[in-house]
Amino acid sequence: MMTLKSIEQLDGQRCALLELNFEATGNMYDDSGQNQISMVMQGEIHRSFELFEDIKVDFTGSMEIVSKPQEGVIMVIEGLPTPRLGQQPSSR
């Protein structure tokens, strides 16, 4: 779910501060077969009204991938994805 938290200035840009919370589960397929993936993320996005671009993104959360590469073998990968984006506004 994405919610408009406020309108504020960032790096000289008028921005919408969006709050994002989501949970996703699904399957990925590759040469080894089917992999199950689950992800929970929370964060904020600063979206420039003038540029129609995200100028700052800050997320934290958790991710788990479960794979069965061979018969009788189960591989579990867990981690903390923390994508961040910070850039100077582009000139148009």
Q: Using the predicted structure, report yes or no on whether residue 84 has a pLDDT greater than 70.
A: no
For residue 85, the number of C-alpha atoms closer than 13 Å in the C-beta half-sphere is 11
Query: What tokens does 39 get?
Result: 């992800």
The pTM for the full model equals 0.64
Query: Where is mean pLDDT largest: 40-49, 57-66, 75-84?
Result: 40-49
Task: Give the Cα-Cα-Cα angle 52, 53, 58 (nearest 5 degrees).
Answer: 140
Mean pLDDT, range 28-54, rounded to an integer? 87
Which residue, chain included where needed, has tokens 């919370």? 21
Domain ranges of the chain: 2-86
The answer to whether the CB of 44 falls within 8 A of the CB of 20 is yes
Identify the pLDDT of residue 89: 46
